[in-house]
Amino acid sequence: MSIKTFFDFCSGIGGGRIGLEQAGLICVGHSDTSRLADTTYNLMNENEDKNYGNLKRLTKEKLPPFDLLIAGFPCQSFSVIGRKDGFEDNRGQIIFHLSRIIKEMQPKCFILENVKGLVTHDKGNTIKVIINELKECGYSVTYKVLTSLDYGVPQMRQRVFFIGIRDDLGLSADEYAWPSSVPIPELSNFLVDNNKASEERLEILHYYLNNPTNKGKYTIDDLRAMEGKILDTRMNDLRIYDGKCPTLRAQRDGILYVRDGEIFQLTGYEALLLQGFPKECADKVKEIVSDRHLLMQAGNAMTVNVVKAIGLNLIQFINRGEK
The span from the CA of 236 to the CA of 209, in Å, is 10
Could you confirm whether 137 is annotated as catalytic?
no
The span from the CA of 67 to the CA of 2, in Å, is 8
Closest CA to 264 of 272, 274, 254: 254
Closest CA to 284 of 43, 49, 47, 22: 43
**Exposed e or buried b per residue across 266-293, where buried means at least 16 C-beta atoms within 10 angstroms of its C-beta:** bbbbbbbbbbbbeeebbebbbeebebeb
Task: Write down the catalytic residue from 75, 109, 137, 281.
Answer: 75
Q: Which residues pair with 159 in a beta bridge?
A: 115, 146
Rg (CA), the chain: 20
Closest CA to 12 of 316, 312, 294: 294
Residues carrying an active site annotation: 75
